[in-house]
Amino acid sequence: MGRQYFGTDGIRGTVGQAPITPDFVLRLAHAVGQVLKRQEARPTVLIGKDTRISGYMLESALESGFNSAGVDVVLLGPLPTPGVAYLTRALRASLGVVISASHNPFADNGIKFFSASGTKLPDAWEIAVEAALEQAPVWVESAQLGKSRRLDDAAGRYIEFCKSSFGNDLTLKGVKIVVDAAHGAAYQIAPKVFHELGAEVIAIGCAPDGLNINQGVGATHPAALVQAVKEHAADFGVALDGDADRLQLVDADGRLYNGDELLYLMADERLQRGENVAGVVGTLMTNMAVEVALKARGVQFVRARVGDRYVLEELEKNGWTLGGEGSGHLLVLDKHTTGDGLISALQVLQACVRTGQSMAQRLAHIHMFPQTLINVRLAPGQDWKSNAAMAQACQAVEQELAASGRVLIRASGTEPLLRVMVEAQDAAQAQSGAKRIADTLQA
């Protein structure tokens, strides 16, 4: 049986349209409860959410569905996705549930799950849940119904966890930071984390109204952060997305650093401190400059498919700790089991504070390769894989680039588009190569 509802990161869609409706979410929770009870007589589930107005409705539906299956529920309120993962592990719960559509607009929402150890669940578990959805519900008797309670100090516990990832011998005193929480799940938490470590904090994107999550602010709209850093003459700007698992950082000059640069900076800091960094995981889209720089220092580099779950799979397979995507999903597995925007930001700030260097100074020796990405719209039924002209063009460009660049052809998973990407040390060469390949598809 395949997966009908689960995507690469839980179940997501537009609220009020299948499957993000209260009746389905109730059935989903009941089915999940049935699966949990195969291993445990009385499971306990944690539920956290971001700030979308639909979170109240979906939270109630989840709570009813779990209770009806004899599962106890602990409500965490608004909490970042990685905060739910942490508390699931810390409180020895059976499962963690997050109500969020991450960086999507407020009209969307979704449900994702974490195992008892705070990690993403395997495909086999999702398939078992979908199979349970096809079966008739099994309502427990009144005496066996699950109970619900609220954990009032969930945010405080997570704040302390984030702070514990920052060096005990270090402080952010004298550092001015603009913090943008995207009007999302970290709107109360993020400013407190940096403030309690000593920083002067200017908060933007920290006034949610249920409808403004990710709207013109946050990691997916960093222009607001850049402007605020310049206006306040801040040393750093930190932007998170709606559920705070994605990060963008800005320096005092207003320069934006993407996930590839931050990933390298974290690896570099560990190497400078004499730590062993056996390997780092990026994705097919990670800038080649990161790979070249790491290999020059004896660090293995592996590319996973695009998506943080695939980066995590490669890290676990190799027993490594550092990985991430250019979008700002970064994994530091010796600090947390999942991607965490706040903890990733603290690792970067720690590197800068420890040496007294800015991000620009820390990254002065690495120069990102220019990338040209062209999206080619495919005609219905167009078979690009057997296009001989495209194959010849790709081969020719690859030969010209040799070891100083690369070609990546990738079909979109959501649209009839073929993404043609050429990366080279010379911007003109990257642009020319990508256009030559794309032209063979449009002829």
Please report which residue ranges of 153-258 form alpha helices under DSSP H: 154-164, 189-196, 223-231
pLDDT band at 379 (very low <50, low <70, confident <90, very high): confident
> Among residues 68, 94, 100, 102, which one is catalytic?
102
The domains found in the chain, sorted by start residue, are 11-152 (3.40.120.10), 157-255 (3.40.120.10), 257-362 (3.40.120.10), 371-442 (3.30.310.50)
User: Which comes out higher in pLDDT, residue 416 or 69?
Assistant: 69
Tell me which of 60-69, 190-199, 273-282, 405-414 is least confident.
Answer: 405-414
- How confident is the model over 195-219, as pLDDT tens digits? 999 999 999 999 999 999 999 999 9
**What tokens were used for 298?**
């004896």
Asked whether the predicted pLDDT for residue 306 surpasses 60, the reply is yes
As a whole number of angstroms, the distance between CA 154 and CA 230 comes to 34
Over residues 96-122, the mean pLDDT reads 96
Annotation marks residue 102 as catalytic: yes
The answer to whether residues 247 and 262 touch, using CB atoms and an 8 Å cutoff, is yes
Cβ-contact 438, 391 below 8 angstroms: no
pLDDT in tens, 249-269: 999 999 999 999 999 999 999
Q: Report whether 138 contacts 69 (CB < 8 A).
A: yes
CA distance linking residue 87 with residue 48, whole number of Å = 10
